[in-house]
Amino acid sequence: MTTLHTPAAVPARPAWRRSLAAYVALTKPRIIELLLVTTVPTMFLAQRGVPSLWLVVATLVGGTLSAGSANAFNMVYDRDIDAHMGRTANRPLVTGAVTPRAALIFASALAVISTVWFAVVVNVLSAALSLGAITLYAVGYTMILKRRTSQNIVWGGAAGCMPVLIGWSAVTNSVSWAAVVLFLVIFFWTPPHYWPLSMRFKDDYAQAGVPMLPVVETNVTVGRQIVIYSWVMVATSLVLIPIAPMGWLYAATATLSGGLFLAEAHRLLRSAKAGESMAQMKPMRLFHYSITYVTVLFLAVAIDPLVYLAIR
């Protein structure tokens, strides 16, 4: 005789843990990780060596709070369109795990705390840049650009470049041309990073009424734009060599990783011109590589000055 065993019920997480997880989700932790990848290497370059560990930690804490605030504001405003997209349908404000009022208070608190933290613990310039980043993303991109223009991610992406300036100013209490070049690298990187993702989820954006470039233009047009921005991005990354100045390690890394980025961008354009389906085009290949690219490039930004110190 066979005995049937009923699987033991998985205990539900305590209410406080569910609530904590929901508030953490409001900050979009994965996006914050990517932003911080650019902050610390920039601090190494600004220092031309290893910056104070306390300063790095203080800047990362402030940057995390600042980015979390901007992302939470974004979720509050975008909760209506998030409900129509499969990729965002499980966000806390869509599921009701957090109320709009509570999320707005949370976002505002993070904005105040991050600004005060930077001003008191780091410096006033970093605090101003941090507050500017929150405003650019929450107001400039989310409220003004996202639903009105297919160039939303281009100009709205400036908010994602701010951690570079914040990292530099945290070390030097100033902004130099080298910091501006790194800012522009991220600025030109954002469209070829995000548009492949938009191509993959084009139907979701169309259903939500968000005019992302792949929604309003053909795949060929999007592919051409990706290639143009990719070339400008790689060229800008090479401008850092005489401006910073940078050594052989950064030069080699920027050239090789940039060459691979361009090859992948052109592959996507060729696929679009051939009329291939989205599955055949595989736009997410470029999306995933773009994350690898920016990580490797900024690792070189951090390590290059250390190599110079070691051989000097």
CA distance 103 to 161: 25
Q: CA 244, CA 179: separation in Å to the nearest integer?
A: 9
Domains 26-173 and 176-312 share a fold: no
Specify the CATH class of 26-173 in words: mainly alpha
> For the whole prediction, is pTM greater than 0.85?
yes
pLDDT score, position 12? 59
Q: Note the pLDDT of residue 1.
A: 45
Given this model, what pLDDT does residue 26 score?
A: 94
In order along its 312 residues, the chain shows pLDDT tens digits of: 445 554 555 455 678 888 899 999 999 988 888 778 899 999 999 999 999 999 999 999 999 999 999 999 999 999 999 999 888 889 999 999 999 999 999 999 999 999 999 999 999 999 999 999 999 999 999 999 999 999 999 988 899 899 999 999 999 999 999 999 999 999 999 999 999 999 999 999 999 899 999 999 999 999 999 999 999 999 999 999 999 999 999 999 999 999 999 999 999 999 999 999 999 999 999 999 999 999 999 999 999 999 877 776
Question: How many Å apart are CA 159 and CA 283, to the nearest integer?
Answer: 24
pLDDT at res. 2:
47
Between CA 54 and CA 57 the distance in angstroms is 5
> Can you tell me which residue has the tokens 């993070």?
110
Q: Confirm or reject CATH 3.90.79 for domain 176-312, answering yes or no.
A: no
Three-state DSSP state, 151: coil
Interior CA angle at 76 toward 72 and 81, to 5°? 120
Rounded-to-integer distance, Cα 52 and Cα 92, Å: 37
Q: What are phi and psi of 244, to 5 degrees?
A: -70, -50
Domain boundaries, the chain: 26-173, 176-312
Identity of residue 248: W
